[in-house]
Chain A
Amino acid sequence: MAEAIMGFTLFKSHTLGSCLQTRRFLLNQPSRLPKQLSNSTPFNTPCQVLEGKSKRASLCKVNGLPDWPLMAIIVEQMEGQRDLITEKTVSHLSDQAIKNVYSWYIMFTVWGCLFFGAMKDPFYESETYRGDGGDGTGNWIYEKQESMEAEAREALWREELIEEIEQKVEGLRELEEAGKKEELIK
């Protein structure tokens, strides 16, 4: 458990990756260094690589971008043996960089859905939206129809009122005329 925690704290450095590679490289040749790594956990290895007088190692990194290691070479020199040269060209991204990549990916996807989704929309191409009565705003679908009808009914009410008033006025006129005639007869 403690080792695992140690391991996680160590995980920050990018040298770790190369060290892992190193270990794997070494593990592939168990006959050469059996004792050194027999009781060590993977995360302990970097310490061992750099300590001890019997062995020296030098690490050389090349960054593609400031945060983006492209290539790493470890040259390990041990007495009486040939140099072990570990060359690692797998490019790794740091956690931050991975987060950046994914956030860019998400942002692009969302933007793309919105942008390209809006380019060809069956609703906006449909007769409902483009057809008669639409002014291209879409508001009419919700409110305009009913307010138009309400206005038409109000107009109808005014029409009727005017008709009624006209009828009353006509009636009054007829009464007046009748009254005048009666006066004339008298």
Chain B
Amino acid sequence: MAAAAYYILPSPKILSRLFRNPPSIPSSNISLLGSLDYSFHCSSRRGNVEVNAKKKNPWLDPFDDGEDPDMEYGSLFTDGKQEEDPRPPDDPDNPYGFLKFPAGYSVEIASLALKVRGDVRRCCCVVSGGVYENLLFFPAIQMIKDRYPGVQIDVVASDRGKQTYELNKNVRWANAYDPDDDFPVPAEYTDMVGVLKNRYYDMVLSTKLAGLGHAAFLFMTTARDRVSYVYPNVNAAGAGLLLSQTFVADNLNLSDGGYNMYHQMVDWLGRPYRNVPTQPVPPLKVSISKKLKEVVEAKYEKAGVKKGKFVVIHGIKSDSKASMQSRGDPDSLLPIEVWAKIADAVRDVTPLFVIPHEKERENVEEIYDEEASIVFITTPGQLAALINDSAGVIATNTAAVQLANAREKPCIVLFCSEEKGKKFVPQAQERKCVVISSNTGKLIDIDVEAVKNAVQTFNLSPTLV
């Protein structure tokens, strides 16, 4: 009896309200959030976003008339962030002894917090795209972690994208499943639905532009909050029916947004709620394990360079899948001839060519130098460890740029146009990053002299240090 007394802390008023209309509670909760973040969305950049974020879908619950104005909340689980381990205090007088549940699994009180405050204990992120898109999703993951303390975040990404999570300490499981595949193998599809459903997520985020099909996939996970981008055109028809929160993408390719490609989702995740202020978006950060560092050190020492005495050159044109381009910038690789010219200007440090495929090794040796330092790297984890040990990075618009920014290494980035540069590296000055863009809109026409000049300043910096 004493144990039970711990759980019946909220006033009976709340409980009776909770039990009176259980089905409408999750959606009323969400609409409540929606009404609160209205003013917030008004101040956000896009005009069409808040219209859609505000509009309630009447199909979700026809009897949901919004927040009850007479609703009175008690003191328990109403405001503030969730705690990391919401277990009731141990009761020494409990006749049943100490029943210890794992964190987040205390069934008696967790459900209450889930309903009243909208806690998220387990969250799944379905991230569309390759390495670049997944890397840019890191701040959002960090933000979820900060906003919902103690949340367990899992990721579902494509094979290439999943490799990125070697660099992320906040993720628990990372599953390889390509959400962009329009015709998945039925067995894989059903398997993944089963896996996600069995994990009992509270929130599912998806950065794939959802139509009815993807919305159904998310719906089948039976998560409480199913949050997804939807197509900005008619393909989104029916998706809102199965999702609890939708963001209309700016255009068909989300990656066109550059560094802030997930701004709508991030705005929504960081929305203020009751006493919780707006959650700021953290900068992109990657963490590199010791093991990875050791492996990469062996690799680049084999290539004949020393720690801190080389410049990473990334973005050699190849038909390899491991080139780590963004989907929003297809013209972002330079042929080795151009790279050879640029590498000639590097004097004080050794240029280290990163090749995405072994077949490129010959080309580099042929065109640049027989004794060129070449390292074969395909995974973002190894690339990050390499950049971490380097003096700097010269790269086109590949994941190497974001990794260099994340590890605060000096960086020269070559872009096909100035807009792309602004989008993908928004705060170039703060980040020790020199952006050089082509005037014609094609990367191949880039001004090699300008790059060489930039490399000269870059040559001085390691000697000064």
Residues in chain A within 8 A of chain B (CB atoms):
146, 149-150, 152-153, 155-157, 159-160
Instruction: Report the separation of the CA atoms of residues A157 and B69 in the bound assembly, to the nearest whole angstrom.
Output: 44
Instruction: Report the separation of the CA atoms of residues A156 and B166 in the bound assembly, to the nearest whole angstrom.
Output: 9
Q: Which residues of B contact A157 (CB under 8 A)?
A: 169-170, 287
Instruction: Report the separation of the CA atoms of residues A152 and B289 in the bound assembly, to the nearest whole angstrom.
Output: 8
Stretch at the interface among B171-179, B362-370, B457-465: B171-179
Instruction: Report the separation of the CA atoms of residues A156 and B172 in the bound assembly, to the nearest whole angstrom.
Output: 11
Contact B175–A153 (Cβ < 8 Å): no
19 A-B residue pairs with Cβ-Cβ distance under 8 Å, sorted by A, are A146-B173, A149-B165, A149-B174, A150-B172, A150-B174, A152-B166, A152-B289, A152-B291, A153-B166, A153-B169, A153-B171, A153-B172, A156-B169, A156-B287, A156-B289, A157-B169, A159-B287, A159-B289, A160-B169
What is the CB-to-nearest-CB distance from A116 to chain B, in angstroms, rounded to a whole number?
Answer: 27
What is the CB-to-nearest-CB distance from A85 to chain B, in angstroms, rounded to a whole number?
Answer: 69
Q: Which residues of A contact B291 (CB under 8 A)?
A: 152
Q: Which residues of B contact A159 (CB under 8 A)?
A: 287, 289-290
Instruction: Report the separation of the CA atoms of residues A157 and B289 in the bound assembly, to the nearest whole angstrom.
Output: 9
Instruction: Report the separation of the CA atoms of residues A150 and B287 in the bound assembly, to the nearest whole angstrom.
Output: 14
- Chain A residue at minimal CB-CB distance from B163: A149
Q: Which residues of A contact B289 (CB under 8 A)?
A: 152, 155-156, 159
Q: Which residues of B contact A153 (CB under 8 A)?
A: 165-166, 168-169, 171-172
Instruction: Report the separation of the CA atoms of residues A149 and B291 in the bound assembly, to the nearest whole angstrom.
Output: 13
What is the CB-to-nearest-CB distance from B228 to chain A, in angstroms, rounded to a whole number?
Answer: 24
A149 CB contact (under 8 Å) in B166, B287, B290: B166
Contact A150–B166 (Cβ < 8 Å): no
Main secondary structure of the interface of B (DSSP, over half): mixed
Contact B287–A160 (Cβ < 8 Å): yes
- Chain A residue at minimal CB-CB distance from B289: A156
Instruction: Report the separation of the CA atoms of residues A150 and B155 in the bound assembly, to the nearest whole angstrom.
Output: 11
Q: Which residues of A contact B287 (CB under 8 A)?
A: 156-157, 159-160
Kindly list 10 other residue pairs between chains A and B, CB separation below 8 angstroms, not including A156-B287, A159-B289. A146-B174, A146-B175, A150-B174, A152-B166, A152-B291, A153-B165, A153-B166, A153-B171, A157-B170, A159-B287
Query: How does the 8 Å CB contact mask read for B422-447 relative to A, with 1 for contact and 0 for none?
Result: 00000000000000000000000000
Q: Which residues of A contact B165 (CB under 8 A)?
A: 149, 153
Q: What 8 A-B pairs come out closest when comparing CB atoms?
A: A157-B169, A156-B169, A156-B289, A160-B287, A156-B287, A150-B172, A150-B173, A160-B169
Instruction: Report the separation of the CA atoms of residues A153 and B291 in the bound assembly, to the nearest whole angstrom.
Output: 12
What is the CB-to-nearest-CB distance from A184 to chain B, in angstroms, rounded to a whole number?
Answer: 33
Q: Which residues of B contact A160 (CB under 8 A)?
A: 169, 287
What is the CB-to-nearest-CB distance from B142 to chain A, in angstroms, rounded to a whole number?
Answer: 12
Q: Which of B166, B169, B172, B175 has the most CB of A within 10 A?
A: B169
Instruction: Report the separation of the CA atoms of residues A27 and B5 in the bound assembly, to the nearest whole angstrom.
Output: 99
Q: Which residues of A contact B170 (CB under 8 A)?
A: 157
- Chain B residue at minimal CB-CB distance from A146: B173
Q: Which residues of A contact B175 (CB under 8 A)?
A: 146
Query: How does the 8 Å CB contact mask read for B159-197 relative to A, with 1 for contact and 0 for none?
Result: 000000110111111110000000000000000000000
Q: Which residues of B contact A152 (CB under 8 A)?
A: 166, 289, 291
Query: How does the 8 Å CB contact mask read for B266-302 relative to A, with 1 for contact and 0 for none?
Result: 0000000000000000000001011100000000000
- Chain A residue at minimal CB-CB distance from B290: A159
Instruction: Report the separation of the CA atoms of residues A149 and B176 in the bound assembly, to the nearest whole angstrom.
Output: 12
Q: Which residues of B contact A156 (CB under 8 A)?
A: 169, 287, 289
Q: Which residues of A contact B290 (CB under 8 A)?
A: 159
What is the CB-to-nearest-CB distance from B84 to chain A, in angstroms, rounded to a whole number?
Answer: 14
Q: Which residues of B contact A155 (CB under 8 A)?
A: 289
Q: Which residues of A contact B168 (CB under 8 A)?
A: 153
Q: Which residues of B contact A150 (CB under 8 A)?
A: 172-174
What is the CB-to-nearest-CB distance from B325 to chain A, in angstroms, rounded to a whole number?
Answer: 24
What is the CB-to-nearest-CB distance from A141 to chain B, in angstroms, rounded to a whole number?
Answer: 13
Instruction: Report the separation of the CA atoms of residues A150 and B165 in the bound assembly, to the nearest whole angstrom.
Output: 10
- Chain B residue at minimal CB-CB distance from A145: B176
Query: How does the 8 Å CB contact mask read for B86-107 relative to A, with 1 for contact and 0 for none?
Result: 0000000000000000000000
Instruction: Report the separation of the CA atoms of residues A152 and B162 in the bound assembly, to the nearest whole angstrom.
Output: 14
Instruction: Report the separation of the CA atoms of residues A156 and B291 in the bound assembly, to the nearest whole angstrom.
Output: 10
Instruction: Report the separation of the CA atoms of residues A153 and B290 in the bound assembly, to the nearest whole angstrom.
Output: 12
Near A by CB (< 8 A), chain B positions 133-175 give 165-166, 168-175
- Chain B residue at minimal CB-CB distance from A158: B169
What is the CB-to-nearest-CB distance from B276 to chain A, in angstroms, rounded to a whole number?
Answer: 24
Near A by CB (< 8 A), chain B positions 35-78 give none
Instruction: Report the separation of the CA atoms of residues A3 and B165 in the bound assembly, to the nearest whole angstrom.
Output: 82
What is the CB-to-nearest-CB distance from B135 to chain A, in angstroms, rounded to a whole number?
Answer: 15
Q: Which residues of A contact B172 (CB under 8 A)?
A: 150, 153
- Chain A residue at minimal CB-CB distance from B162: A149
What is the CB-to-nearest-CB distance from A158 to chain B, in angstroms, rounded to a whole number?
Answer: 9
What is the CB-to-nearest-CB distance from B27 to chain A, in angstroms, rounded to a whole number?
Answer: 33
What is the CB-to-nearest-CB distance from A58 to chain B, in angstroms, rounded to a whole number?
Answer: 69
Instruction: Report the separation of the CA atoms of residues A155 and B291 in the bound assembly, to the nearest whole angstrom.
Output: 11
- Chain A residue at minimal CB-CB distance from B291: A152
Instruction: Report the separation of the CA atoms of residues A153 and B174 in the bound assembly, to the nearest whole angstrom.
Output: 10
What is the CB-to-nearest-CB distance from A49 to chain B, in angstroms, rounded to a whole number?
Answer: 66
Instruction: Report the separation of the CA atoms of residues A152 and B291 in the bound assembly, to the nearest whole angstrom.
Output: 9
- Chain A residue at minimal CB-CB distance from B285: A160
What is the CB-to-nearest-CB distance from B36 to chain A, in angstroms, rounded to a whole number?
Answer: 32
What is the CB-to-nearest-CB distance from A7 to chain B, in angstroms, rounded to a whole number?
Answer: 54
Q: Which residues of A contact B166 (CB under 8 A)?
A: 149, 152-153
